[in-house]
Amino acid sequence: MSLKSLNIVCFGLLTIIYRAIPPDPNSGSQIFYSECVASARKALELHQLAALRFKASDYMWRGYVHW
């Protein structure tokens, strides 16, 4: 559970770091770097997988949600 949670945190933090980088003025209408969007999607994907896995046990689900 800790490793799964750590991966979610890492991709979430990576998203915030990428979001802090100002976009290239020559990029047109692009607001975010593609890496920002990719890391956010990965964090959400990992969260969905963890939620499905941990919902099977009330104990694990409570720990995950409170974490």
Domain boundaries, the chain: 2-21+30-66
CA angle, 18 as apex, 4 and 29 as ends, to 5°? 130
Rounded Cα distance between 39 and 16, Å, is 9
What sign does the dihedral 43-49-52-57 (CA atoms) show? Answer: negative
Over residues 2-27, the pLDDT tens digits come to 777 889 999 999 999 998 887 777 76
Instruction: Read off the pLDDT band of 28 (50, 70, 90).
Output: low
Predicted TM-score (pTM) of the model is 0.75
Contacts of 51 (CB under 8 A, 6+ apart): 64
